[in-house]
Amino acid sequence: MEAQLRPLLPLILALTACQRNVETPFPEGLEPLEEMAVEAPVGTVGDPFPETTTFVVGDDTENDWVWAHVRGYIHADAEDVWDLMRDDGYMMADRRGVDAIDTTYDVEPDLCLTFVNHVTVNDIITLEWDITYRGDVAAGNKETPERFAIRFQKTEGSSLIDLQEGSIVLNVIEDGITEFQFIERLRAPQTSTDDPLAYGQDMHESLVALAAGGELPDFTE
């Protein structure tokens, strides 16, 4: 065996010298809004990947929007978390203060996750707007995915909701552990950084509960 390997050693050494870490680019249109501005939760020896969140928020006065970055872990395989997100538009919605959410699925058949949430809020006047969600495998392949990516944005409806856009990333950490990354920007009357922050934390809490076989938390009030 050693004699057989000897002629291959120069090639093996050359390949080893040339190898380097590479970034797998996100599919066009599914890139995160920006780089995450917060680190993942710090674990312990007993729980290296806690199902908590870290976050940072801000008020961009130049663009007149509020924003939030939320990051955490989920104790479930990324494919299972992805299935929960792909098949439940209601769970994916920001449900606080909302009166109705109607979902239309498979609006873009070329993507694994694609639906529109039609949102209705009755507060003195009736506000209605559509949020389109688009997502797919972003690293690896459909058989062995390593990352999933989602973009969402307001695509139609009330002009009072001037901007609502965001990105979500699921990273495979190891079997049974998924990293959740959430970013949202929001420009609308009477909103603050509490609004995108609550949306990201609510989504994480919902996924943690459902992945563990529990009930969907109620954030409607």
> From first to last of its 221 residues, what are the pLDDT tens digits of the chain?
455 545 555 544 444 444 444 456 666 789 999 999 999 999 999 999 999 999 999 999 999 999 999 999 999 999 999 999 999 999 999 999 999 999 999 999 889 999 999 999 998 889 999 999 999 999 988 888 999 999 999 999 999 999 999 999 999 999 999 999 999 999 999 899 999 999 999 999 999 999 999 999 998 76
Q: For the domain 52-211, what is the CATH superfamily, name and number?
A: START domain (3.30.530.20)
* For the chain, domain boundaries: 52-211
SS3 sequence, 44-85?
CCCCCCCCCEEEEEEEECCCCEEEEEEEEEECCCHHHHHHHH
Range 28-33, long-range pairs (CB < 8 A, 24+ positions): 29/134, 29/151, 30/134, 30/135, 30/136, 30/138, 30/149, 30/150, 30/151, 30/167, 31/149, 31/151, 31/167, 32/149, 32/167, 32/169, 32/181, 32/183, 33/151, 33/165, 33/166, 33/167, 33/183, 33/185
**Token pair belonging to 14:** 């050359």
Whether this prediction's pTM lies above 0.85 is answered by: yes
